[in-house]
Structure 1
Amino acid sequence: MTDDSTTTADAPVVRTTHGAVRGVWRGAGRERSAAFLGIPFAAPPVGELRFAAPVPPEPWEGVRDAVEPGPTPQRRPFAEVTSIPEPSYPGDATLNVNVFTPAPGGEDALPVLVWIHGGGYKAGSPSSPWYDGAAFNRDGVVTVSVSYRLGFDGFGFIEGAPANRGLLDQAAALAWVRDNIAAFGGDPGRVTIAGQSAGGGSVLAMFACPPASGLFSGAISHSGALDPLPADEARERSERLAAALSVEPTLAGFRSVSEDAILDATDAMAAPPAGAGLPPGEVVDAMLTGPAFGGITFIPYLDDATLTDPVAAVAASDVPLVMGTVAHEFTFIGQMMAPLFGDADVPDLLRGSVVGPVADAHVAAHPDLSGPLLVGQLMTDKMFRGPLVRFLAARASGGAASSWAYDFRWPNASNGLVAHCAEIPFAFDLLDAPQVETSSGPDAPQELANEMHADWVGFISTGAMPWQQWTPAESLAKVYDTPTRVEERYRLEGEIDALLGGHHG
């Protein structure tokens, strides 16, 4: 969208608890909304604040321009090519929010969406064009995208430093929303948190993060990836990093080395692919029983003050929750691992693996997949689709109400797969955003985006979805395809998750 305001006098100005900010108007008519970019919710995490809990920013005098994206915690992208355009911006003031609103200073108290980006807890950007709130603004929803510390900065164990600093950042951003969103036209009592992948996992983590308690009234977890480490494993990984850096594994030791040095050492610690070097008959079990996050070293870990048991916390909460995945999240991994299987018959390998009791059912359930892609689909089930059942089943057994499931299945015509991230432009109704054609194909149906986006707006506004709630007995989910429909989903993936048992982390 383009700025249709040419003078400072025309620009929207909002006063926050730390000072006034000047945004920019975009669009016209019903499409008119204001964007405020890079507003600090916490002080720059540098110097004595490096590896510390977030603290409020210093107040400022006058009016601060909020018309350019703020610095990002992401210093290096997840990969050279990613599904989502995830720009990095330099600078120290990395803890900031972007606010998109149709009514700055308004009195309507509109519902609020707070978006937490993904990226494996090591990358990602709150300023991706895929997270622009324009369509939500058009439909009466104030939208906020938040940053948080990543990688070792956010999730490395450090003696003397708070745990899970990235989660504390997210909770601090939610506290900022509570204190400030009314000035942007939002209702602090109607805040829905949502995110995808690590962002979807972060949504689940907020249920189990004591500082976030009471700061949100609804939650949507897209492809939520949350498999927290035990604290002793997090400690061991940080000790290995310290040894690689030739420093003590202490706050002073890690502060003595540069951010680049830590990033370099972290990259060098990445684990090799599961199953490498094993005979074909052992590869499947190695993939399915190894760490869910593979080569990603620093992820959330269990801690009484910052991340209690997330499954138990979600089960005990009465906050309405929507969970869903896409059909083939990480199924492409099977193609990458194909050389490890050689000429072996993949269905036979599956029958001899930990998922052997449902191997034939798995093959029958995916007639569109063959060979190594069947193993890749099991990785999708392990990391995303099975855990959905685990969370929702625990929620049902705990007596929590208001749970809905969805299954996004619109395929990319170029390869027939529905890969990780594919649903985001549909939920945000931004099919014209950069790289969407690469992700979804050239013929992504606007009518599907209209329906999915309308469902999201409805949930953010009312706390309910327009289809049957999920229960273990029926396992009903809305399928986003053409046509959309509500039918039983995820039952087989729940069985696979149960077979994996203690092999989730």
Structure 2
Amino acid sequence: MTMTETSLRTPVGTVVGHRVDGVRRYLGIPYAEAPIGVRRFAPPVPRAPFRQPYDATRPGPTSQRVPLFATTTIPEPSIPGDDVLNVSVTVPEADGCPVLVWIHGGGFLAGSPASPWYDGRSFARAGVVTVTVGYRLGVDGFAVLDGVPRNLGLRDVLLALDWVQENIAAFGGDPARVTVAGQSAGGAAVLALLSSPAARGRFRRAVSISGGFFEGTHPEVARPTREFLARLGRALAVPPTRAGFADRTLEQLQRAVLDLRGPGPLPLGPFVGDDILPVPVAEGLKEYGHDVPLLLGATGDEFDGDRTPAEEQGDGTRPAPEDRSAGTHTARAARAAGTRPTDTLFRAVCPRSAAARRHASAGTWLYSFEWPSPVLGGAVHCVDLPFFFDLLDASGVPEALGPNPPTDLATRMHADLVGFVHGETPPWDRATGTPGDPAREYGRPGAPLAADTHGVYDPVTRTEAAPW
């Protein structure tokens, strides 16, 4: 493997990256001014053009200063620095390529765009330009504070999408063929953007991997959110205001938030009632984005596998799979009843989104990832990502997937995602949010690698938590 330096002239100035095996990477390019000082808790401001060549040979600073857990399924490096609003671009040796813009997960509190699981090299070899986006997290990105615009983290992503429109052609990308995609909180952000009038025209396709309807709505969440921020202020000995929180560093805020957060809804995240999210996401999907094809799905077990990083921080005990989800129910019965957190938080979102978009001209397609990790005890949250990215050789993969994950499954899933980004229509039927909806199942034991089936999401239609 030979690494060489490569320079590129762009509308924002010259960036210097590196080339390895025919794939070029330009890492940590600021798309906005650093959100510090008077720019902290303010809408993002486009970065001024570079006067000198910008060193883009290493990942940029991350908004994450403290991971969600001591051990996370996805390797999520925290990188210090102020320029957290940056993008990394992985580029094939071609022009006019479609573009995949990736939004990382982490519960809107953590996560890192510099994860090796988000390396775009396999996409580059398939003729796709990949852009990973850093955005503000936690208090800085999603606090509800007087005098502070809502949804700053989503505003960051919107500005990054503007940066893509203005600059990606210099990297060989086609600004008219942009797909926005993300996983977990990133998948929720995709659905939020798809439901937002402010995002219209910034992307042409959308992919939500294990996303959810995680937005807070007034008045259901406004009061609990403010109460949480008041507790946070007391823990930090500052008033729960813009000025008070600005007196603390990102690390201090994130540590305090993680110490205070409990089970249940995320304490911070997108909030309904402004120009970005004027209505709840499920409602917005009925009104906006009908010209944007949507591919979405979830894993079979998400947070209902045999082991989670959160449990590993406790006393080390592991509840048996049949005891996790529904009291006396077995895990299989709980799934059939749609009573697991996996079903109510993640899988129910798939048919609900399809139902909201039933009349969308562009269509909606569902998938379900069913391959059980022998390490984590199920088809759990995040383990599908190395397959979609075709990165089974990335660091951290054996620890999550075991020593021999099926390479043919990665080849198939990656090909399906690449085809969608290239503008192809998925080769299975559209979903309409009705019982018996079609979906593609990936990796179910005893079935073909990709089995086109019906009704895989039917159980969640019977739960009160997932009404039509």
Q: Please report the TM-score for the alignment, with normalisation by the length of structure 1.
A: 0.82
Structure number with the higher helix fraction is: 1
Q: Does 1:485 align with 2:451?
A: yes
Q: Does 1:21 align with 2:12?
A: no
2:270 corresponds in structure 1 to: 300
When the two chains are superposed, the root-mean-square deviation of aligned CA atoms in Å is 2.9
8 A Cα contact 1:404 1:477, kept in partner:
yes
1:282 corresponds in structure 2 to: none
* Matched residue type, 1:417: G
1:311 corresponds in structure 2 to: 282
8 A Cα contact 1:208 1:306, kept in partner:
no
Distance 2:330 2:357 in 1: 29
The Cα shift of 1:447 comes to: 1.0
The Cα shift of 1:415 comes to: 5.4
8 A Cα contact 1:175 1:215, kept in partner:
yes
8 A Cα contact 2:324 2:331, kept in partner:
no
Distance 1:421 1:264 in 2: 23
* Matched residue type, 1:451: R
TM-superposition CA deviations, 1:276-315 (whole Å, max 9, x none): xxxxxxxxxxxxxxx4x3xx42121112222232112223
Counterpart secondary structure, 1:15: strand
Range with bigger deviation, 252-261 or 145-154: 252-261
Q: Does 1:267 align with 2:255?
A: no
Identity score, percent = 42
8 A Cα contact 2:180 2:203, kept in partner:
yes
The Cα shift of 1:495 comes to: 1.6
* Matched residue type, 2:176: G
Q: Does 1:390 align with 2:352?
A: yes
2:462 corresponds in structure 1 to: 495
Match of 1:451 among 401, 412, 435: 412
Equivalent residue pairs, number: 449
Distance 2:60 2:307 in 1: 38
Distance 1:348 1:422 in 2: 19
Distance 1:145 1:98 in 2: 5
* Matched residue type, 2:451: R
8 A Cα contact 1:269 1:297, kept in partner:
no
8 A Cα contact 1:38 1:97, kept in partner:
yes
Counterpart secondary structure, 1:61: coil
Counterpart secondary structure, 1:462: coil
The Cα shift of 1:334 comes to: 8.6
After superposition, the Cα gap between the structure-2 partners of 1:348 and 1:117, relative to the gap in structure 1 and judged at 3 Å, is closer
Distance 2:362 2:47 in 1: 38
Distance 1:239 1:469 in 2: 46
Distance 1:165 1:347 in 2: 36
2:295 corresponds in structure 1 to: 322
Counterpart secondary structure, 1:406: strand
The Cα shift of 1:95 comes to: 0.5
Range with bigger deviation, 82-91 or 51-60: 51-60
Distance 2:326 2:172 in 1: 57
Q: Does 1:95 align with 2:85?
A: yes
Distance 2:408 2:324 in 1: 38
The Cα shift of 1:363 comes to: 1.1
Counterpart secondary structure, 1:465: coil
* Matched residue type, 2:97: L
The 5 A counterparts of 1:185-204 are 185-204=172-191
Counterpart secondary structure, 2:357: helix
After superposition, the Cα gap between the structure-2 partners of 1:82 and 1:389, relative to the gap in structure 1 and judged at 3 Å, is same
TM-superposition CA deviations, 1:361-417 (whole Å, max 9, x none): 961866xxxxxxx99x70111111112221111111x44541100011111234541
Distance 1:327 1:206 in 2: 25
Distance 2:18 2:325 in 1: 60
2:195 corresponds in structure 1 to: 208
The 5 A counterparts of 1:198-347 are 198-231=185-218, 232-233=222-223, 234-271=225-262, 273=263, 291=264, 293=265, 296-308=266-278, 309-316=280-287, 317-318=289-290, 319-332=292-305
8 A Cα contact 1:320 1:463, kept in partner:
no
8 A Cα contact 1:315 1:400, kept in partner:
no
The 5 A counterparts of 1:106-121 are 108-121=95-108
Distance 1:438 1:450 in 2: 20
8 A Cα contact 1:142 1:186, kept in partner:
yes
The 5 A counterparts of 1:463-482 are 463-471=424-432, 472-481=434-443
TM-superposition CA deviations, 1:331-364 (whole Å, max 9, x none): 048995999xx99x9799769xxxxxxx799618
Distance 2:326 2:166 in 1: 55
2:156 corresponds in structure 1 to: 169
Match of 2:341 among 358, 379, 383: 379
TM-superposition CA deviations, 1:241-281 (whole Å, max 9, x none): 2343343333222223333432343233212x4xxxxxxxx
8 A Cα contact 2:349 2:466, kept in partner:
no
Q: Does 1:12 align with 2:3?
A: no
8 A Cα contact 1:118 1:197, kept in partner:
yes
After superposition, the Cα gap between the structure-2 partners of 1:298 and 1:179, relative to the gap in structure 1 and judged at 3 Å, is same
Distance 1:94 1:416 in 2: 35
Counterpart secondary structure, 2:75: coil
TM-superposition CA deviations, 1:99-127 (whole Å, max 9, x none): 00113xx5x31100001000111111111
The Cα shift of 1:437 comes to: 1.7
Distance 2:335 2:285 in 1: 29
8 A Cα contact 2:326 2:340, kept in partner:
no
Counterpart secondary structure, 2:189: helix
Match of 1:67 among 57, 75, 87: 57
* Matched residue type, 1:24: H
The Cα shift of 1:479 comes to: 0.6
Distance 1:58 1:347 in 2: 51
Distance 2:98 2:7 in 1: 20
Q: Point out 4+ residue stretches in structure 1 off by more than 4 angstroms.
A: 333-339, 345-351, 359-362
TM-superposition CA deviations, 1:186-209 (whole Å, max 9, x none): 000100011110111111111234
Distance 1:348 1:54 in 2: 41
Distance 2:324 2:30 in 1: 53
Distance 1:438 1:421 in 2: 13
Counterpart secondary structure, 1:500: coil
Q: Please report the TM-score for the alignment, with normalisation by the length of structure 2.
A: 0.89
TM-superposition CA deviations, 1:151-175 (whole Å, max 9, x none): 1111111111111111111111111
8 A Cα contact 2:191 2:281, kept in partner:
yes
